[in-house]
Structure 1
Amino acid sequence: MKKLTVMLMGLGFATAAFPAVSVAAPFAPLNQRAQMIQSRIDQGIRSGNLNRREAFQLQGQLRGIQKLEYRYRLSGGRIDMRERADLERRYDALSAKVRFDKHDGHRRW
């Protein structure tokens, strides 16, 4: 019985420590977010929901955000909270624009 209690306590501590490990890599979510947006743009091109002009503009905006992220990382070695909030806001706006452009009815012919 005592071994089971100790084992469950150890499992509880390991579970409680898990979110701290996921926070330790702060740059992964931004990179993942850029990849997700790029895949949505690619899917819109393949399906015909995005025309060439829309796709070109969206990819240009994505490259601009990625360049800004790169500059933020060069300036201080890491991204601070203000810069991260700025990048998140820009990714949110671009994601909404991708969604709008994919469903606005301007299809490739």
Structure 2
Amino acid sequence: MNRITTLVAAAAATLAVATPMAASAAPWQTINARQARIDARIDQGIRSGALNRNEAYRLRSDFRALSAREADYRRSGGLSYRERADLDRRFDALSARVKVQKHDGQHRRW
């Protein structure tokens, strides 16, 4: 009986630890997936008129610069933890700028 109680307690502890890790791992995206998603959001903003020409140009320039930085990092033999964190921070900032520019009330002036 004592052995069963110990196994049940160990299983419960494992489940309690694994559940938050699985939940936090679900929204994680690869660098390539983040790039594709941001690129698609910029395209959608251009098509809908939510981004004007200047906004789209600046966002595309920032996107290309970030892609070039990622390529430089990868050339050195893959992404280190520090490089991955830097790219994540920069992608977060670019994503926030896309959101702000799409919702700032300035519309297409093509």
- Map Cα deviations across residues 11-53 of structure 1 (whole Å, 9 max, x no partner): xxxxx9xxxxxx9xxxx71011001000000000000000011
- The structure whose Rg is larger is 2
| Count of residues in correspondence between the two structures | 84
SS of 1:49's partner is coil
Q: Please list every run of 5 or more consecutive structure 2 residues that lacks an aligned counterpart in the other structure.
A: 1-17, 19-24
1:61 maps to: 62
Partner of residue 81, structure 1: 81
Query: Which residues of structure 1 form unaligned runs of 5+?
Result: 1-15, 17-22
C-alpha distance in structure 1 between counterparts of 2:94 and 2:71, whole Å = 17
2:91 maps to amino acid: Y
TM-fit CA distance, 1:108:
1.1
Q: Secondary structure at the match of 2:30?
A: helix
Deviations 1:57-108 (A, max 9, x none): 1011011111000000112x11000000000000000000000000000101
Please report the TM-score for the alignment, with normalisation by the length of structure 1: 0.72
Distance in structure 2 (CA, Å) of the matches to 1:67 and 1:108: 28
Percent identity over the alignment is 53
